[in-house]
């Protein structure tokens, strides 16, 4: 447990925040800092074929220790942290034997992590919680996953009596900006299937996720002196408001759950001459997903007819798709993960991801890749935390998956 804690604390203090506005790959140079640390650590624990490629992907191999043929499996986690909140100068705090009461993260700024608002805290009474100091995110998304994979590989190396086949691991850059799997070389990775360690609450096991697209709505206006603007001015801000008002008001993240899709307006910028609305579009059902994208086009068409010119332009870009269709034909890989959790004393929580992981893109690239809990909560912000015990259990689940895969095929 202490070794896992020390490893995690070392990783989270390396700033690896990615940048959605930089087309370079990786989007920030600082991601290389953690990549190089991981290469050195993987070599130190005895991993083989450790490689850091030109695109900042770290790959390594744990050779099989059984004589019969066993499927090669993989484990994947991402190195970058979210652009949504600062990842600079992370100062983690350790709260041992959590008593179920409010945790003061930052007394000077009155930042409190309380079960009155975050009820999930009560699941972890008596455990060791790692939190932020209220000024940054923590980075458990996904440095908890990295910690668990490295720790599991170290455990298997130190315990050769545990049978396992060949295991490949990969740490990716730029997952948080949707590019984590873009340059992932599935053929070089060489696994029959893999698991991303990128889920949240202990027990999460996910093989279904949103279909996802981005939408950029560019509205052109015409600025005229307001005193002489009648029948001349075209105020793009007001047309932008009108565009947004035509979407279903209940189809937003804060009013949806489960398999319900949404439109999320995450950026609105503009003036009279030009307004830009940026949405993300999400739905688990592919047909409904296509309808949502079509609705944006229909609104733009209506407004263009109304105002007599093509002043509203919609740019749609698909981001990833629901991996369910790629996982269902190979459901034994989910069954193995479920059994591995049960062996570790963890109750599997099988549900759909209201988001996406590298695994969704990798599944469509030919590497079926369900998602397993990493243990953290409230990612992308100052209230992020992770129970140490959840990371320990995730590490155990990885080793159990390795053993079960070998056992089923020996």
378-383: average pLDDT: 95
Binning pLDDT at 50, 70 and 90, where does residue 409 land? low
What average pLDDT is seen over the chain? Answer: 96
135-141: average pLDDT: 97
CA 110 to the chain's CA centroid: 29
Q: Report the topology of domain 211-320.
A: Alpha-Beta Plaits (3.30.70)
Which of the residues are catalytic? 80, 175
Binning pLDDT at 50, 70 and 90, where does residue 26 land? very high
pLDDT computed for residue 354 by the predictor: 87
Tens digits of per-residue pLDDT, 150-177? 999 999 999 999 999 999 999 999 999 9
pLDDT surpasses 70 at 98: yes
Tens digits of per-residue pLDDT, 322-342? 999 999 999 999 999 999 999
105-121: average pLDDT: 95
Tens digits of per-residue pLDDT, 266-315? 999 999 999 999 999 999 999 999 999 999 999 999 999 999 788 999 99
208-228: average pLDDT: 95
pLDDT surpasses 90 at 355: no
pLDDT computed for residue 357 by the predictor: 75
pLDDT surpasses 80 at 70: yes
pLDDT surpasses 90 at 254: yes
pLDDT surpasses 60 at 410: no
pLDDT computed for residue 259 by the predictor: 92
pLDDT computed for residue 308 by the predictor: 79
Q: How far apart are CA 17 and CA 13, in angstroms?
A: 11
Tens digits of per-residue pLDDT, 188-200? 999 999 999 999 9
pLDDT surpasses 70 at 251: yes
Kindly provide the b/e burial profile for residues 386-400, where b requires at least 16 CB atoms within 10 angstroms of the residue's own CB: bbbbbbbbbbbbbbb
Each domain of the chain, given as residue ranges in start order, spans 2-208+322-408, 211-320
pLDDT surpasses 90 at 247: yes
260-268: average pLDDT: 96
Residue 203 vs residue 409, higher pLDDT: 203
Q: Report the topology of domain 2-208+322-408.
A: Aminopeptidase (3.40.630)
């Amino acid at each position: 447990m202490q070794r896992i804690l020390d490893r995690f604390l070392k990783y989270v203090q390396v700033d690896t925040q990615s940048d959605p506005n930089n087309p370079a790959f990786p989007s920030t140079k600082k991601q290389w800092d953690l990549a190089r640390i991981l290469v050195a650590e993987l070599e130190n624990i005895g991993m083989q074929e450790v490689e850091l490629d030109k695109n900042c992907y770290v790959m390594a191999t744990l050779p099989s220790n059984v004589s019969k043929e066993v499927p090669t499996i993989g484990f994947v986690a991402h190195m970058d942290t979210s652009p949504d909140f600062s990842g600079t100068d992370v100062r983690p705090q350790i709260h041992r034997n959590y008593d179920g009461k409010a945790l003061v993260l930052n007394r000077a700024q009155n930042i409190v992590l309380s079960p009155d608002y975050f009820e999930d805290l009560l699941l972890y009474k008596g455990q060791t919680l790692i939190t932020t100091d209220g000024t940054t995110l923590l980075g458990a998304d996904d440095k908890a996953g990295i910690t668990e994979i490295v720790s599991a590989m170290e455990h298997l190396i130190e315990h050769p009596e545990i049978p396992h086949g060949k295991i490949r691991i990969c740490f990716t850059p730029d997952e948080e900006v949707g590019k984590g799997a873009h340059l992932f070389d599935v053929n070089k990775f060489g696994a029959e299937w893999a698991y991303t360690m990128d889920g949240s609450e202990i027990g999460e096991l996910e093989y279904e996720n949103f279909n996802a697209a981005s939408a950029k709505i560019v509205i052109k206006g015409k600025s005229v002196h307001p005193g002489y603007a009648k029948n001349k001015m075209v105020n793009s801000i007001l047309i932008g408001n009108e565009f947004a008002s035509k979407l279903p008001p209940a189809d937003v993240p804060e009013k949806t759950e489960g398999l319900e899709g949404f439109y999320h307006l995450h950026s609105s910028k503009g003036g009279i001459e030009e307004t830009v609305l940026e949405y993300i579009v999400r739905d688990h059902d592919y047909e409904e997903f296509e309808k949502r994208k079509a609705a944006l086009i229909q609104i733009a068409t209506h407004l263009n007819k109304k105002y007599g010119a093509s002043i509203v332009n919609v740019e749609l870009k698909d981001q990833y798709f629901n991996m369910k269709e790629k996982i269902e034909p190979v459901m034994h890989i989910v069954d193995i993960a479920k059994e591995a959790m049960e062996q570790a004393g963890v109750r599997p929580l099988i549900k759909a991801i209201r988001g996406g992981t590298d695994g969704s893109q990798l599944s469509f690239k030919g590497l079926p890749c369900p998602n397993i809990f990493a243990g953290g909560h409230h990612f992308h912000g100052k209230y992020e935390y992770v129970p140490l015990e959840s990371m320990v259990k995730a590490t155990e689940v990885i080793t159990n998956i390795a053993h079960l895969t070998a056992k089923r095929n020996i």
